[in-house]
């Protein structure tokens, strides 16, 4: 990073050198005396002699950067706990901050230029109150030409009201980006120190920060991790502090992480980030009988850059992270193509390939309920039970899980469990789905059916008749229907009155409900049928 410095020490312009030539071009805003400073992560900065520029001057300068490595090895945690609001003060802290600053300024410069087009994945996970099980995971994929894949709230806004805004209608949490971390606001309102090592030799050096004493708005405290040999900034881990909430909500450990990465041409991006937040609920205190706050769920917001494009090519491609892979087998133990494998939520499913294989990627270190289905099972409105899969935090290899579809007889037995099987019976099954005009399922709709056996007078009085109600999913099933049977079917909303005597005496439903009756036949070669009915509420 080459910067143009005026006589007052102010930086007027900065630019990354072109790789591998080292060329750069800077424009002076006005005539005067300047110098040039070159910053390289992991090396001491180099400055030129002062030089003058007139209004029409163009000057060529060759700046020779000294090869003086900056190593963070051997830096130890500070014994004193004194607050340093400007990390330029103090030798060890200043050395770590200088290298972090170089990476942050490169990231901010990359963001200012808007050099890339990003393919991005955004995930929202709802975890149980213990933070171990994924209850729902929603995904969205976007491709944008934006200055950066991740930007924070402006620094002056964070200065005034903090990093969290809590309200009865909902809460908002923010993470810092490079501009915020470099801002005067952040440097003037946070204390810095060298933190304890997270492990043995080779582990990252930690530059820790926390709000300065007296700052009471919702804030962040955390750690910037730098590689001890290369001095490159790797990530920022932080937690939210000064939250005036019930201790039960703090069990969610609200906080987050921002990862940093350099690209081959020297630019820097945020390839991934995540926030961990709480969703409050309400319970009754067992001791006082009064309403009290409860932790309803833990919400994880995660962003991942899948690919970065410049004008000509892909300059970065992320890895697929933690994965679950396996095969869906049919009843003959042959891989089943076209099966859907998914977890609860939107945008999380994959379809098996020609030999029944699948892979779910970009997963978190949690326990997932993994489901599968197939069109032939969906026609029966049958969902096999999920398999619980635990994805470990240090898992680099995919977790393996296979599914085996049950025989159709077992499916029917499970679907019709608890339904009395009449003496004159067959294996016919009719699933009725009742929806309203908008296509939403109708709960509690009454479904009526009159059946007539083949060869008998159609729908004569005394023919088999069925009555039932839909469940919350709008479904009602008729089990053990005889083959070659014609059915008249109609659905009534919960506010429609049914004349039971008229239904029992009717020879046909068409007389009772003109223009509303649907007919369907249970044939021997198609014993499992579905019917969609729409009603007006």
Check pLDDT > 70 for residue 361: yes
- Residue 82: predicted pLDDT: 60
CATH 1.20.1300.10 fits 420-534, yes or no: no
Residue 190: pLDDT band with limits 50, 70, 90: very high
What span, in angstroms and rounded, lies between the C-alpha atoms of 518 and 520? Answer: 7
- Distance, in Å, from the CA atom of 282 to the CA atom of 293, rounded to the nearest integer, reads 5
Length of the chain: 537
Where in the chain do CATH 2.60.40.10 domains reside? 420-534
What is the distance between the alpha carbons of residues 5 and 37, in angstroms, rounded to a whole number?
7
Start and end residues for every CATH 2.60.40.1120 domain found in the chain: 326-406
Report pTM.
0.80
Which two three-digit tokens encode residue 534?
């729409």
Confidence of residue 71 (pLDDT cuts 50, 70, 90): low
- Token pair recorded at residue 203: 């582990």
**pLDDT score at 523:** 86
User: 148 near 176, Cβ under 8 Å?
Assistant: no
For 31-40, 195-204, 281-290, 462-471, which range has the lowest pLDDT when averaged over its residues? Answer: 195-204
Alpha carbon 45 to its chain centroid, in Å, reads 40
User: What is the bridge-based pairing of β-strands 322-329 and 403-404?
Assistant: parallel
Q: Does position 184 have pLDDT exceeding 50, yes or no? A: yes
- The answer on pLDDT for 209 being more than 70 is yes
- Give CA–CA dist 26/3, Å, rounded: 8
Q: With H, G, I as helix, E, B as strand and everything else as coil, classify residue 346.
A: coil
> SS3 for 108?
helix
Checking if the pLDDT of 246 tops 70, the result is yes
Which two tokens mark 515? 């223009």
What's the rounded Cα separation, in Å, for the pair 109 and 179? 9
The answer to whether residues 401 and 420 touch, using CB atoms and an 8 Å cutoff, is: no
243 and 251 in contact (C-beta within 8 Å)?
no
pLDDT score recorded for residue 457: 45
Query: Residue 409 pLDDT > 50, yes or no?
Result: yes
Q: Is the pLDDT of residue 454 over 50?
A: no
pLDDT digits (tens, 9 = 90+) for 106-138: 988 888 887 889 999 999 999 998 899 999 999
pLDDT of residue 455 exceeding 60, the answer is no
**Cα angle at 238 between 82 and 305, to 5 degrees?**
145
In the chain, % of residues over pLDDT 70:
92
Q: What is the mean pLDDT of the chain?
A: 87
CATH 2.60.40.1120 for the 326-406 domain, yes or no:
yes
Give the pLDDT band of residue 20 (cuts 50, 70, 90).
Answer: confident
What confidence tens digit (pLDDT) does each residue in 388-406 have? Answer: 999 988 767 899 999 999 9
Residue 449 CA to residue 488 CA, distance in Å, equals 5
Alpha carbon distance 222, 174 (integer Å): 14
Percent of the chain at pLDDT exceeding 90: 49
* Model pLDDT, residue 91: 73
Confidence at residue 198, expressed as pLDDT on a 0 to 100 scale: 67
Question: pLDDT at position 278, please?
Answer: 93
Whole-number Cα distances in Å, 399 to 135, 137, 402: 19, 18, 10
Q: Give CA–CA dist 270/216, Å, rounded.
A: 29
- Which of 9-18, 59-68, 423-432, 520-529 shows the lowest mean pLDDT across its residues? 423-432
């Amino acid at each position: 990073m080459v910067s143009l410095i005026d006589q007052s020490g102010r930086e007027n312009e900065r630019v990354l050198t072109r790789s591998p030539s080292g060329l750069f071009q800077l424009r002076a805003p006005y005539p005067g005396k300047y110098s040039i400073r070159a910053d390289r992560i992991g090396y001491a900065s180099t400055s030129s002699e002062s030089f003058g520029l007139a209004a029409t001057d163009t000057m060529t300068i060759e700046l020779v950067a000294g090869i003086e490595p900056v190593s963070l090895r051997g830096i130890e945690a500070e014994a004193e706990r004194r607050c340093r609001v400007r990390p330029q003060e103090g030798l060890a802290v200043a050395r770590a901050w200088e290298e972090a600053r170089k990476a942050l300024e490169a990231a901010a410069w990359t963001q200012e230029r808007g050099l890339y087009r990003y393919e991005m994945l955004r995930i929202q996970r709802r975890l149980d109150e213990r933070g171990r099980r994924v209850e729902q995971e929603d995904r969205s994929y976007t491709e944008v030409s934006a200055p950066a894949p991740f930007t924070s709230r402006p620094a002056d806004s964070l200065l005034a009201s903090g990093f969290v805004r809590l309200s009865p209608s909902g809460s908002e949490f923010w993470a810092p980006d490079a501009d915020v971390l470099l801002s005067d606001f952040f440097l003037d309102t946070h204390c810095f120190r060298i933190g304890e090592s997270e492990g043995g030799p080779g582990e990252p050096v930690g530059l820790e920060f926390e709000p300065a004493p007296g700052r009471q708005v919702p804030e962040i405290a955390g750690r910037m991790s730098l590689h001890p040999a290369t001095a490159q900034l790797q990530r920022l881990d932080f937690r939210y502090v000064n939250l005036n909430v019930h201790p039960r909500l703090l069990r969610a450990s609200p906080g987050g992480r921002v990862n940093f990465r350099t690209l081959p041409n020297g630019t820097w991006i945020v390839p991934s980030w995540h926030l961990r937040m709480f969703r409050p609920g309400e319970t009754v205190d067992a001791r006082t009988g009064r309403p009290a706050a409860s932790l309803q769920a833990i919400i994880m917001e995660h962003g991942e850059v899948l690919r970065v494009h410049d004008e000509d090519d892909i300059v970065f491609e992320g890895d697929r992270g933690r994965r679950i892979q396996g095969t869906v087998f049919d009843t003959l133990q042959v891989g089943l193509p076209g099966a859907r494998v998914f977890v609860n939520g939107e945008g999380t499913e994959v379809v098996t390939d020609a030999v029944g294989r699948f892979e779910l990627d970009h997963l978190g270190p949690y326990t997932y309920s993994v489901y599968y289905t197939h069109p032939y099972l969906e026609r029966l409105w049958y969902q096999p039970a999920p398999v619980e899969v635990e994805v470990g935090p240090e898992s680099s290899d995919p977790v393996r899980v296979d599914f085996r579809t049950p025989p159709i007889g077992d499916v029917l037995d499970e679907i019709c469990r608890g339904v009395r099987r009449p003496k004159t019976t067959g294996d016919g099954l009719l699933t009725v789905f009742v929806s309203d005009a908008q296509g939403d399922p109708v709960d509690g709709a009454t479904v009526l059916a009159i059946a007539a056996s083949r060869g008998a007078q159609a729908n004569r009085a005394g023919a088999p008749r069925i009555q039932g109600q839909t469940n919350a999913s709008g479904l009602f099933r008729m089990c053990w229907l005889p083959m070659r049977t014609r059915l008249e079917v109609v659905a009534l909303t919960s506010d429609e009155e049914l004349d039971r005597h008229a239904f029992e005496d009717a020879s046909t439903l068409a007389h009772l409900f003109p223009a509303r009756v649907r007919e369907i036949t249970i044939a021997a070669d198609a014993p499992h049928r579905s019917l969609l009915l729409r009603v007006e509420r």
